[in-house]
């Protein structure tokens, strides 16, 4: 799972781009109790979501005519400019060139060889999120892709990720961890779009999972708050419970309630 150790190649940040920032505040407060803290005019209204005073995500207004509402996952890099070159050499492309964010760090927005958007963060004074792998924070990431082999080759070339494959009835699930890491450092998985029919229309994309203590209680808040339950609760023995959602503007994300120790 995720940790705030933030080694190269691991997720270090996640943020929401939405045309209705005020509506997003209401929705995510209803689900997770998040409170928004604006960075002010200096950062163009960009701000952070806080859970118990700790940063769990970023958020900003993105007009609908500029990009669809979405969550973006940032992976740590020690050199954003070098990572951009590695992405281009691997068949991906630069969406927004590297830029400094004050003294906080340096970032770039990219797309992989199959067009899936993601970003990288070269830390300055901001090392990453304050809280992960805990209730009401990000705990996992997942890539829906038409070609898992090509995706692994791309991200392996760019970040040096290692992989682990877990078999289950009817198939297998490929999980990734930072270079030099182990199974204990896994932070995400890959699903072929052909095995996720509900994602075909959405197309390939990265989605964040947010951990919750009571998935049924959170799911009960989704529709009253204006969101959509895209895939109802699913239970996986030995892992936990999951559900896929969309917020009122259509940004897709997922929930996870880890199984209690002993399977209780």
Mean pLDDT of the chain: 94
Q: pLDDT tens digits, residue range 225-258?
A: 999 999 999 998 889 999 999 999 999 999 999 9
Both tokens of residue 250? 């259509």
Q: pLDDT tens digits, residue range 18-63?
A: 999 999 999 999 999 999 999 888 888 899 999 999 999 999 999 9
pTM (predicted TM-score): 0.95
């Amino acid at each position: 799972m995720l940790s705030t150790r933030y080694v190269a190649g691991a997720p270090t940040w996640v943020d929401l781009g939405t045309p209705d920032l005020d509506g997003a505040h209401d929705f995510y407060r209803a689900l997770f109790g998040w409170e928004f803290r604006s960075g002010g005019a200096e950062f163009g209204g960009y701000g952070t979501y806080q859970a118990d005073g700790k940063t769990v995500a970023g958020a900003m207004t993105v007009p609908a005519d500029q990009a669809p509402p979405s969550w973006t996952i940032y992976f740590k890099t020690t050199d954003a400019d070098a990572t951009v070159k590695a992405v281009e050499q691997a068949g991906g492309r630069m969406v927004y060139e590297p830029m400094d964010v004050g003294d906080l760090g340096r970032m770039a927005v990219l797309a992989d060889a199959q067009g899936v958007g993601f970003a990288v963060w070269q830390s300055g004074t901001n090392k990453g999120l304050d809280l992960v792998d805990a209730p009401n924070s990000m705990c996992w990431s997942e890539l829906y892709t038409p070609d898992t082999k090509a995706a692994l080759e791309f991200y392996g070339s760019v970040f040096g990720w290692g992989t682990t494959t877990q078999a289950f009835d009817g198939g297998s699930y490929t999980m990734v961890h930072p270079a030099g890491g182990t199974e204990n450092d896994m932070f995400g998985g890959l699903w072929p779009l052909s095995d996720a029919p509900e994602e075909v229309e959405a197309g390939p994309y990265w989605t964040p999972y947010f951990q919750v203590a009571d998935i049924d209680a959170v799911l009960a808040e989704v529709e009253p708050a204006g969101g959509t339950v895209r895939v109802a609760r699913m239970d996986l023995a030995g892992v936990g419970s999951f559900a896929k959602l969309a917020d009122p503007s259509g940004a897709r994300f997922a929930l996870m309630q880890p199984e209690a120790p002993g399977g209780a």
